[in-house]
């Protein structure tokens, strides 16, 4: 027979291990109501959210920050790593609301910022940037603050944004900057088609960003891709109204990181200014764009369905007479069809000193007013295969 003391020690050991592993499985929940937030739409809940974040960030166990249904008024808030644990879920069942006075966050850069984090997910919920007042100010030509990005993810890795709706951002809705391995899925962006600078999702200086199954209706680019972006995957996105999916503007700076390995597939554009675009300043630059695949796109009444514009120079300021230094190569357009809202459906306006190279087109059929649309090329070289309508000018 075993020694009773030995059995006791064993049982204690097993229980100890068990509770430890249970703790590892069961995350701790921090309800923002418990740290002073109020879902009444009136009370400033910034401190309540920050308290919940600090607690979640400081625990070694996985943690959930939970915002139950309600409207939470938040000023600009910073959710900063490094955290003790690599599994913080922010579950929002309600709406986070920006202050109605746009001056409060208008120069803060970001309204909500996740910075230096590793292993954070933001799930569900609505972010209401209350941007309409600022848009009106900008449109009227008055002096106004530049406006805040609704949700910034900066210098972070392993972040998931799932099922979030962003409404009426003052400026960009979501900005991913300096990040690795970020997944955005099932997101909705909603702002009016004439709201200024309200890009849906902007990615820059980041690698391994995935944007899936999302709907973006806004006044600027649905997705914009800035310098230093690589291994970006965009799939199953509906865009419109908006300015389309744009690589660029790039090449504003002389020394600039390039964009590499971008896949955009199964996307639909409706009544947008552009479909798939690459845009660079007409300025000297070390930048480049290479390894891009645009595949399975449907255009519905799109002004510029396929466009490369290397002569961007707004108001002809700071670049007249210059040419773009950005080198564009290895760009494939495959299975792209639908309707153009203008006669020229395919436009490759590339740099005189750095012509576009290895442009490939396969099975492209774009019509204008039920007739073949037109293509226009300058300094672009490449190949075609399959059906190409309008007739290629490569």
Ligand X SMILES: *[C@@H]1O[C@H](CO)[C@@H](O)[C@H](O)[C@H]1NC(C)=O
Residues that bind ligand X (CB under 6 A): 231-233, 261, 263, 365, 367, 387, 389
The answer to whether the peptide bond before residue 249 is cis (omega within 30 degrees of 0) is yes
Minimum Å distance from CB 117 to ligand X? 21
Burial pattern 51-64, b for ≥16 Cβ within 10 A else e, equals bbbeebbebeebbb
The smaller minimum CB distance to ligand X, of residues 352 and 369, is found at: 369
Dig out the tokens for 55 from the structure.
């607690």
Nearer to ligand X, 59 or 261 (CB): 261
Q: Are 89 and 27 in contact (CB under 8 A)?
A: yes
CB nearer ligand X, residue 129 or residue 291: 291
What is the distance between the alpha carbons of residues 207 and 169, in angstroms, rounded to a whole number? 25
**Is 296 marked active-site?**
no
Smallest distance from the beta carbon of 285 to ligand X, in angstroms?
A: 23
Min dist CB 270 to ligand X, Å, is 16
Burial 325-352 (b: 16+ CB within 10 A, else e): bbbbbbbbbbbbbbbbbeebbbbbbbbe
Question: Diameter of the chain by CA atoms?
Answer: 95
Strands (DSSP E) found in 188-229:
188-190, 201-204, 207-217, 223-225
Smallest distance, ligand X to C-beta of residue 260, A: 8
What is the C-alpha to C-alpha distance for residues 335 and 357, in angstroms, rounded to an integer? 20
Comparison of 131 and 291: residue with beta carbon closer to ligand X: 291
**Cβ atoms of residues 145 and 103 within 8 Å:** yes
Minimum CB distance to ligand X, residue 113 (Å): 25
* Nearer of residues 263 and 357 to ligand X, judged by Cβ: 263
Name residues whose C-beta falls within 8 Å of residue 197's C-beta, 6 or more positions apart in sequence.
138, 147, 171, 172, 219, 220
The DSSP string of 120-149 is EEEES-EEE--THHHHHHHHHT-------E
Q: How far is the CB of 365 from ligand X (least distance, A)?
A: 4
Residue of 173, 202, 243, 337 marked catalytic: 243
- Residue with smaller CB distance to ligand X, 29 or 231: 231
Q: Which residues form the catalytic set?
A: 243
């Amino acid at each position: 027979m075993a020694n009773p003391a030995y059995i006791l020690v064993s049982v204690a050991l097993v229980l100890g291990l068990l509770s430890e592993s249970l703790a590892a499985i069961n995350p701790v929940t921090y309800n923002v109501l418990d740290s002073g937030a109020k879902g009444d739409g009136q009370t400033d809940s910034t401190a309540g959210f920050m308290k919940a974040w600090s607690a979640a960030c400081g625990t070694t166990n996985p943690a959930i920050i939970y915002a139950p249904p309600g409207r939470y008024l938040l000023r600009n808030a910073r959710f900063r790593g490094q955290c003790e644990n690599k599994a913080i879920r922010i579950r929002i069942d309600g709406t986070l609301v920006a202050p109605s006075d746009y001056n409060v966050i208008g120069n803060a850069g970001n309204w909500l910022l996740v910075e230096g984090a590793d292993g954070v997910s933001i799930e569900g919920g609505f972010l209401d940037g209350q941007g309409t007042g600022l848009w009106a100010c900008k449109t009227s030509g008055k002096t106004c603050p530049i406006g805040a990005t609704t949700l910034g993810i900066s210098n972070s890795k392993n972040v998931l944004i799932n099922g979030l709706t962003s409404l009426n951002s003052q400026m960009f809705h979501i900005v991913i900057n300096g990040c690795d391995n970020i997944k955005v899925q099932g997101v909705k962006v909603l702002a009016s088609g004439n709201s200024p600078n309200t890009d849906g999702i902007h990615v820059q200086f980041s690698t391994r960003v995935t944007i899936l199954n999302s709907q973006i209706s806004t006044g600027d680019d649905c997705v914009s891709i800035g310098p230093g972006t690589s291994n970006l995957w965009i799939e199953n996105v509906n865009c419109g109204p908006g300015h389309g999916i744009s690589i660029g503007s790039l090449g504003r700076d002389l020394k600039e990181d390039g964009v590499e390995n971008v896949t955009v597939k199964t996307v639909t554009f409706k009544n947008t200014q552009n479909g798939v675009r690459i845009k660079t300043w007409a300025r000297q630059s070390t930048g480049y764009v290479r390894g891009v695949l645009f595949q399975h796109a449907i255009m519905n009444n799109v002004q510029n369905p396929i466009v490369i514009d290397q002569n961007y120079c707004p108001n002809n300021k700071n670049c007249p007479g210059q040419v773009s230094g950005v080198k564009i190569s290895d760009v494939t357009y495959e299975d792209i069809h639908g309707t153009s809202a203008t006669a020229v459906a395919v436009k490759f306006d590339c740099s005189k000193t750095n012509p576009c190279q290895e442009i490939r087109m396969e099975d492209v059929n774009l019509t204008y007013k039920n007739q073949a649309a037109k293509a226009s090329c300058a300094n672009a070289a490449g190949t075609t295969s399959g059906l190409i309508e309008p007739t290629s000018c490569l």
